[in-house]
Amino acid sequence: MKKINDLIAAGVIIGCIGNIFLHIFRLLIRPLITSMGIKTRTSWNDLASLFFKPPEVYTFWAQFYGFLVTFGVSITNCIVLGVLLRFTGRDFAYLKSMIVCTASVMFAFMILYPSLGLVANQHSIATTYYALFVNELFAILVAYLYLRITNIGMGMQRENK
């Protein structure tokens, strides 16, 4: 299989794959999480809440817009990861991916949501750990995909040897 060399294309493809996986995973484990008493919302609901106010936020079109925005967030994370891999090489790719994706979540929970007045369950220990766990799964998956289907960051490794 020919590997992807284009940073933007790789970010878009890997971001979309990772986002779809994340949505399917969350929907599959939602009944289990809810039965354990953990309050969660869908990520697209949170993102729709950034753009719309009640009662519009609960409409199909607002939720659909939030769903589309989740792809933008995932793609942005993957492009940032690709830039990081390009300039620093592929060594510790999983760690680099976890740092980029965790920084994105921390920015959302600590700065973006409060500054825009979004009431998230950010003060719930269970919800916060759930968000962190799912985010780390996303980070591991996208690092794996970068290593598997791209050549991004390979030049740095060749120079170091």
Check whether 132 has a pLDDT greater than 90: no
Under DSSP, is residue 91 helix (H, G, I), strand (E, B) or coil?
coil
User: Two tokens at 144?
Assistant: 């794996």
pLDDT digits (tens, 9 = 90+) for 30-89: 888 888 877 777 788 888 888 898 899 999 999 999 999 999 999 999 999 999 999 999
Q: How far apart, in Å, do the first and last CA atoms of the chain sit?
A: 25
All structural domains of the chain with their residue ranges:
7-154
pLDDT the model gives residue 161: 45
Best CA proximity match to 26, nearest among 12, 44, 11: 44
| CB contact at 8 A, 104 and 47 | no
Rounded to the nearest angstrom, the gap between the alpha carbon of residue 111 and the centroid of all alpha carbons in its chain is 17
pLDDT the model gives residue 159: 44
Integer angstrom CA distances of residue 144 from 24, 129, 138, 154: 18, 22, 10, 14
pLDDT digits (tens, 9 = 90+) for 95-130: 999 999 999 988 888 888 788 776 665 566 777 788
Integer angstrom CA distances of residue 2 from 11, 29, 59, 70: 16, 34, 43, 28
pLDDT the model gives residue 122: 57
Q: How far apart are CA 155 and CA 86, in angstroms?
A: 8
pTM for the structure as a whole: 0.87
| CB contact at 8 A, 120 and 113 | yes
